[in-house]
Amino acid sequence: MTRLEILENNSKRKLSIIEKIHPDKLGCAPSTTFLTIHWDNQDGHHNNDDFLILSKGKPNSHSSFLRNQSFFTKHYEEKHGYAVTDHQFDENQDYHAGYCSKNKETKSYHLEESFSFKEYSQWMSIYWEQIKHKKVRDLVLPGSHDAATYGIHSSSERSPDYRSPWFAPNAVISKWSKTQSATIYKQLVFGVRYFDLRVAPTSSGELKVQHNMFSVPITEVLDDIAAFIKDKREIIILHWNHFNFLTDQQHKQLQSLIKTKLDGKMAPRELGVDVTVEQLEQTPIINIYDDRFSVVKENTIPDQIAEESCFWYHHSLRSAYDFDQYHSCKSVINFLEKELKEEHSTFWVLQCVLTADNRLSNFYQLAVDSVFDWTMMEMDSFLKLFEKIEKLNIKTNIIMTDFVTFYPLTRFCINQNLK
């Protein structure tokens, strides 16, 4: 008879729960995703009897492990990788990941490390005492690039920021415009705390998220945030940007929506970029209103937020990006490594994203691939960058990716913040 017992969490296995395409379902759309354990065995010690579990209840003995109907076990021999389950995410469940190792002498199993998925949705609250005196710009936060593009599909309307070849069919454009598969609420549950949100009016005047094509209405984004934050003290940074196509009246409309939906939760900009976690306990949402490029045909938009202290100016955040260098993973990482050497005195974003070269000469590649495929293919390169950041203790603030729920990013950020 084998047994399963809890030992102290030694954090050497670095387990994360993420989303991933099932290997037997690679033909599925990116929205067909399954819970996955990402593991990184830091000490390198394992045997063929080691296995991973994903349980619907906390496993504390062999019998409870069975009673809780752990639906996945996986033996492995590699140092790190992904163990994909057949279970799709249910926000009402609390999942537990565990690393089990067998003692050859006693022939007993030890649950050497486990953690609850709830650590993601409330990770700041759980570790509040450890992080409350930190400046927000000194925290390490998971970030979502083009955060609300999950609603883009082949029949979506093209948005005014569209840059691809005019003759490209919508089926191709949508594959390179959709950079997230999860809703804002689901991303928040997965621990994401920074959101890149780009807004434009549709042909009917409705304000929606844009990225070459229109995604969901801004009201849907705000409703998700309001529903999540109402009973939590989790700091959220909303970066409203790419306002090139808003009129003065539409700016006022957007600001009114934000103020109405997030009333009572928005931090005043007078707190400044040296604000600490503790100072945001009652007003945990920072709205950065980045209107520096707001130019429409009729006029140049003046200062839109002078009288609105719940909106922070664009210079509160640095998000460096060079379009010419973002067409290959190697050039992106070279750019990021230079950015990591800079001194930063504001909130700042490390853009771990790839941008397609939309020149006509590259059209065939655009037609056969997608930003999802490209992101999955290059993920290991970005994970190696994260390992370097951790090993050398390099200072970071916001780490932003595409398909953020597919990365073991939240667990990485938690570990960095607890150093």
pLDDT in tens, 274-296: 999 999 999 999 999 987 654 44
Q: What 3-state DSSP class applies to 218? A: helix
pTM (2 d.p.): 0.91
Please list the residue range(s) of the chain that carry CATH number 3.20.20.190.
121-417
The per-residue pLDDT for 70 is 59
The per-residue pLDDT for 10 is 44
Dist. CA 315–CA 56, nearest whole Å: 44
The per-residue pLDDT for 77 is 61
pLDDT interval class at 153 (50, 70, 90): very high
Pairing of strands 317-318, 347-352: parallel
Mean pLDDT score, 215-227:
98
Express as a percent the part of the chain with pLDDT over 70.
83
The per-residue pLDDT for 33 is 77
Mean pLDDT score, 69-85:
68
pLDDT tens-digit series, residues 17-63? 898 876 554 444 555 678 888 887 766 666 667 777 888 777 665 45
As beta bridge partners, residue 5 has: 110
pLDDT interval class at 64 (50, 70, 90): low
List the one residue out of 181, 159, 190, 226 whose CA is nearest residue 28: 181
* Residue type for position 220: E
Please list the residue range(s) of the chain that carry CATH number 2.60.40.
4-116
pLDDT tens-digit series, residues 187-205? 999 999 999 999 999 999 9
pLDDT interval class at 5 (50, 70, 90): very low
The per-residue pLDDT for 399 is 98
User: Residues 234, 191, 344, CA angle at the centre, nearest 5°?
Assistant: 75
Is the confidence at residue 113, as pLDDT, over 90? no
Is the confidence at residue 362, as pLDDT, over 80? no
Tokens 């691809």 label which residue? Answer: 164
Is the confidence at residue 312, as pLDDT, over 60? yes
Q: What is the DSSP secondary-structure string of 229-280?
A: HTT----EEEEEE--TT--HHHHHHHHHHHHHHTTT-BPPGGG-TT-BTGGG
Q: What is the DSSP secondary-structure string of 313-365?
A: -GGGEE----GGG-SSHHHHHHHHHHHHTS--SSEEEEEE------SGGGHHH
Contact 389, 350 (CB under 8 A): no
Mean pLDDT score, 214-239:
97
CATH level 2 (architecture), domain 4-116: Sandwich (2.60)
pLDDT interval class at 116 (50, 70, 90): confident
Say if domain 121-417 classifies as CATH 3.90.1150.10: no
Is the confidence at residue 411, as pLDDT, over 90? yes
List the one residue out of 369, 407, 330, 361 whose CA is nearest residue 142: 407
The per-residue pLDDT for 325 is 72
